[in-house]
A and B are shown apart, each in its own frame.
Chain A
Amino acid sequence: MKKLTVHPSPLTNTKNSTFQIMFCVIAALMPTAICGCFQFGLDAVMVLLATTGTAVLTEIIWQTLFGKQLTAPDGSAAVTGLILGLCLPPSFPVYWAAAGSAFAIIVVKQLFGGIGKNFANPALTAKTLLMLLFMQEMHTWTFPDGHTEVITETAELTQQKSFWDLMLGNTPGCIGHICAAGIILGGVFLILKGIISPAAPAAFIGSFALLSLIAGDSLTLRLLSGSLLFCAVFAATDYTTTPVTVTGKTVFGIGCGCLSYFISRYGGYADGSVLAVLIMNLFVPLIDRITAPRVFGSEIPRSSENQ
């Protein structure tokens, strides 16, 4: 007798897969990564290779050790590693960058149950940890002419820069943050592919721009320099650590934008977007609950307890 498949319906599915989505994210990160590597040369390449490679290796080793389903081939670890690398200055010690990457994968991601279970963005958490541990290394900037200098007030870095310098990355900064054009290109690609919703980045950048306008700051400088764009496009759209509905994403984006602004303006930390995203990550379960859509035909809103 011929063997026929027996399986619950439906018996068809999209060709989309986790890997395909992660591959697109990596592709979207490429313009800004390549620009960073051009600007900073071998240093930047080494940092990116170290963080990405370590992330993938750590995940494979961890999952093999504990007999878990191997998820490294889906590319999510590579995305985490690459994002961390892009958030580091090019002169950052390669071994510490690798250590940060391992921390992101093991402590922030795997200890919470792996892909889909972590509540904070692994790459940004690792970046914050490195920031606290390596104050000086994290603020050693490489200038376009090749010399390096320690500047703690990040805002001072880009003060003399023109619009085009900021767009094309002709400025000191973190590897992936300097080239605004590259980030925008990646973001547009992801939106067109339907992988990210424009809601969170738009709300993020929009609310930040609005507050800057009210305060009378230079919009070009505020929006194009620092980690704002990068975080809005690649961190505030991370599936796992952001709300699932469009309303939720908008709330999340507005929260990120406002927090970024206030942190950079009133806090001692000029580059507030990273912290803002991390803080908003903690609000995701709450936002998800409040913005849950009402089930068709149900009288009682889903978010309320009916007993």
Chain B
Amino acid sequence: MKRLNGIRLPFRKSTDHKPIVPLRTPRKVRIPMLMHKGSPCVPIVGEGDLVTVGQLIGDAAQPDAVPIHASVSGVVSSVSDISLDGQTFVPCIEILADKEQLLSPDCKPVTVTTKEELIDAVRKSGCVGLGGSGDATFQKLSAAESFDLLILNGAECEPFLSADCRLMTESPQDIIAGAELLMKILKIKEVRIGITEDKVTAIKLLSDICSTKKGIDVCPLPAVYPQGAEKVIVFHTCGRIIPDHQTAADQKILVLNVSTCAFIYQYTQTGIPLTEKTVTVSGNAVRKPGNYRVPIGTPVMNLLEAASCDLEAMNLLLNGSVMTGTCIRDLDMPVLRQQNGLTAVKKYKAPQKSPCFRCGKCLRVCPMRLNPMMLEQAYIQQDLRALERLHVSACINCGSCSYICPAHRPLAATNQRAKEILPENREGNAS
């Protein structure tokens, strides 16, 4: 089968053999009310309230919101506003942790038998796309009447990140159990687990378990970036093409991150909602990179200290990794529930851009076979027809074009801006 294009990146996975270490409970956590794609939650606790681990503190008032739970037990010290992107503000609940760390009495094992119960349970668990997307998982499950294929995304092909790799190595049985649960309830016959071929141990462990399970297969993916993007992983695991303007759900395919799948299983077993997250702390400013499990809302500073980060030299801090991560503006920011990595880079210098000289490298690396060079021209000229003719909407924002460009043009960022000016998105009916 022909593979989609991509780039060979230095993966720098120095943490992939480092076990997940739970970090000491922080003195305080800050939990923003928007840690998913959709509307923010509404705080239902106030200053001075006592909360326990797993207690609901953010109510999903809007149908597209995912509830948020306390990640530590203690006392709510304030409810204030926080800005995660530097533009919009959302409420944020700050909790001072106590010594006991009591579990909420609401946390009881959940039995699910029907699709409706599953969707309801997944929503109540606060589950979002844990691979970094933050998509509301319950919406994914309800996006199609029925699914005929479940694809578990264990690609994790960005540099530095290894949280999913560790999960696949340390608790592969949870992933398989989650897959079996989803198969049973959603009546899915086939499951494919896509893992890049450089994760030898993870592939072996999962293949061993799968050999006795019917319908679950491990698909090694090329160790090329990007693999985890929905359209790419669907094509590389089952050869099916998702048409432009469609999602995997339109093709009756459910794509979930391996950690999301494992979490759904763990939730049905324990009833503890999403309160903890494994984060790979890495980057060249970090002296002791590793995988840490922390309560959601832990200040990133705690993680940086645990990994002995060179704070003096660090000038770039990323939620995620270097290809699709977003910049963290200050060290007070909390760890989000969809966050899988914290990458601290020292002495980062944004390259100076120079004129395009049509080398065509961006065309050769684009997995969607777009023409970033011409898209940039069309955007500069604000030529909407050309943007549509060149299928700008098919861009998956993997950043390969910007990465490879010898003139260092911000091609991927331009594509995102170009998508925003398309009439279909301006009218506000983007779904």
Contact at A240–B406, with CB atoms within 8 Å?
no
Chain A residue numbers with a CB within 8 Å of B391 are 295, 298, 302
Partner of A297, one of B314, B328, B394: B394
Contact at A4–B316, with CB atoms within 8 Å?
yes
Q: A115-B355, A296-B231, A298-B394 are in contact. Are A10 and B416 (CB under 8 A)?
A: no
Contact at B315–A4, with CB atoms within 8 Å?
yes
Within 8 A of A (CB), among B301-359: 311, 314-318, 322-331, 345, 348, 350-351, 354-359
Chain A residue numbers with a CB within 8 Å of B345 are 11
Q: Which residue of A lies closest to B85 (CB)?
A: A6
Chain A residue numbers with a CB within 8 Å of B354 are 17-18, 69, 71, 74
Partner of A1, one of B4, B330, B413: B330
Interface assignment of A299: CB less than 8 Å from any CB of chain B: yes
Chain B residue numbers with a CB within 8 Å of A292 are 371
Partner of B357, one of A16, A115, A299, A305: A115
Within 8 A of B (CB), among A195-228: none
Partner of B327, one of A6, A74, A114, A244: A6
Partner of B394, one of A16, A17, A69, A295: A295
Within 8 A of A (CB), among B203-246: 231, 235, 241-244, 246
Instruction: Report the Cα distance A21→B351, complex, angstroms.
Output: 16
Instruction: Report the Cα distance A306→B391, complex, angstroms.
Output: 11
Partner of A298, one of B243, B406, B410: B243
Report A241 CB to chain B, min CB distance, Å: 8
Partner of A12, one of B317, B329, B403: B403
Interface size class of B (residues with CB under 8 A): 35 or more
Instruction: Report the Cα distance A180→B181, complex, angstroms.
Output: 68
Contact at B408–A5, with CB atoms within 8 Å?
no
Report A122 CB to chain B, min CB distance, Å: 12
0/1 string, A283-307, CB within 8 A of B gives 1 = 0000000001111111100100111
0/1 string, B177-215, CB within 8 A of A gives 1 = 000000000000000000000000000000000000000
Contact at A302–B317, with CB atoms within 8 Å?
no
Contact at A18–B407, with CB atoms within 8 Å?
yes
Partner of A13, one of B231, B328, B388, B405: B405
Contact at A4–B390, with CB atoms within 8 Å?
no
Report B420 CB to chain A, min CB distance, Å: 13
Report B34 CB to chain A, min CB distance, Å: 19
Interface size class of A (residues with CB under 8 A): 35 or more
Contact at A2–B325, with CB atoms within 8 Å?
no
Contact at B243–A297, with CB atoms within 8 Å?
yes
Contact at B317–A4, with CB atoms within 8 Å?
yes
Q: A4-B316, A12-B159, A115-B357 are in contact. Are A297 and B368 (CB under 8 A)?
A: yes
Partner of A239, one of B242, B318, B327, B359: B359
Interface assignment of A9: CB less than 8 Å from any CB of chain B: yes
Q: Which residue of A lies closest to B371 (CB)?
A: A292
Contact at A302–B390, with CB atoms within 8 Å?
yes
Contact at A14–B406, with CB atoms within 8 Å?
yes
Within 8 A of B (CB), among A37-77: 69, 71, 74, 76
Contact at A9–B325, with CB atoms within 8 Å?
yes
Instruction: Report the Cα distance A281→B283, complex, angstroms.
Output: 46
Instruction: Report the Cα distance A13→B351, complex, angstroms.
Output: 8
Contact at A296–B358, with CB atoms within 8 Å?
no
Instruction: Report the Cα distance A239→B361, complex, angstroms.
Output: 10
Report B182 CB to chain A, min CB distance, Å: 25
Q: A12-B323, A245-B360 are in contact. Are A295 and B403 (CB under 8 A)?
A: no
Q: A9-B324, A296-B369 are in contact. Are A69 and B355 (CB under 8 A)?
A: yes
Contact at B360–A13, with CB atoms within 8 Å?
no
Instruction: Report the Cα distance A114→B407, complex, angstroms.
Output: 14
Contact at B405–A294, with CB atoms within 8 Å?
no
Contact at A295–B322, with CB atoms within 8 Å?
no
Q: Which residue of A lies closest to B349 (CB)?
A: A5
Report A72 CB to chain B, min CB distance, Å: 11
Within 8 A of B (CB), among A71-85: 71, 74, 76
Within 8 A of A (CB), among B396-421: 397, 399, 402-408, 410, 412-413, 416
Q: Which residue of A lies closest to B362 (CB)?
A: A244
Interface assignment of A7: CB less than 8 Å from any CB of chain B: yes
Chain B residue numbers with a CB within 8 Å of A302 are 371, 389-391
Interface assignment of A116: CB less than 8 Å from any CB of chain B: yes
Q: Which residue of A lies closest to B343 (CB)?
A: A11
Interface assignment of A8: CB less than 8 Å from any CB of chain B: yes
Instruction: Report the Cα distance A255→B375, complex, angstroms.
Output: 27
Q: A294-B369, A295-B370 are in contact. Are A10 and B324 (CB under 8 A)?
A: yes
Chain A residue numbers with a CB within 8 Å of B235 are 296
Q: A10-B322, A299-B243 are in contact. Are A4 and B329 (CB under 8 A)?
A: yes
Chain B residue numbers with a CB within 8 Å of A147 are none
Partner of B369, one of A12, A239, A295: A295
Chain B residue numbers with a CB within 8 Å of A245 are 360, 363
Contact at B416–A16, with CB atoms within 8 Å?
no
Chain B residue numbers with a CB within 8 Å of A3 are 315
Interface assignment of B385: CB less than 8 Å from any CB of chain A: yes
Report A23 CB to chain B, min CB distance, Å: 11
Contact at A5–B371, with CB atoms within 8 Å?
no
Contact at B350–A7, with CB atoms within 8 Å?
yes
Report B323 CB to chain A, min CB distance, Å: 5
Report A178 CB to chain B, min CB distance, Å: 29
Chain A residue numbers with a CB within 8 Å of B323 are 9-10, 12
User: Which residue of A17, A292, A295 has the most chain B CB atoms within 10 A of its CB atom?
Assistant: A295
Contact at A116–B357, with CB atoms within 8 Å?
yes
Q: A18-B406, A293-B363 are in contact. Are A4 and B327 (CB under 8 A)?
A: yes
Partner of B350, one of A5, A114, A296: A5
Interface assignment of A162: CB less than 8 Å from any CB of chain B: no
Instruction: Report the Cα distance A297→B4, complex, angstroms.
Output: 12
Q: Which residue of B lies closest to A116 (CB)?
A: B357
Interface assignment of A20: CB less than 8 Å from any CB of chain B: yes
Instruction: Report the Cα distance A44→B399, complex, angstroms.
Output: 46
- 7 new A-B pairs (CB below 8 Å) besides A7-B327, A9-B397, A297-B244? A2-B331, A5-B327, A8-B410, A12-B323, A12-B403, A292-B371, A296-B369
A sample of 17 inter-chain contacts (CB < 8 A) reads A4-B315, A5-B316, A8-B413, A9-B322, A9-B412, A10-B322, A11-B318, A13-B404, A16-B406, A114-B355, A239-B358, A240-B357, A293-B363, A295-B369, A297-B242, A302-B389, A302-B391
A-B pairs with lowest CB-CB distance, top 3: A10-B399, A244-B360, A8-B413
What residues of chain A have their CB less than 8 Å away from a CB belonging to chain B? 1-14, 16-18, 20-21, 69, 71, 74, 76, 114-117, 239-240, 244-245, 292-299, 302, 305-307
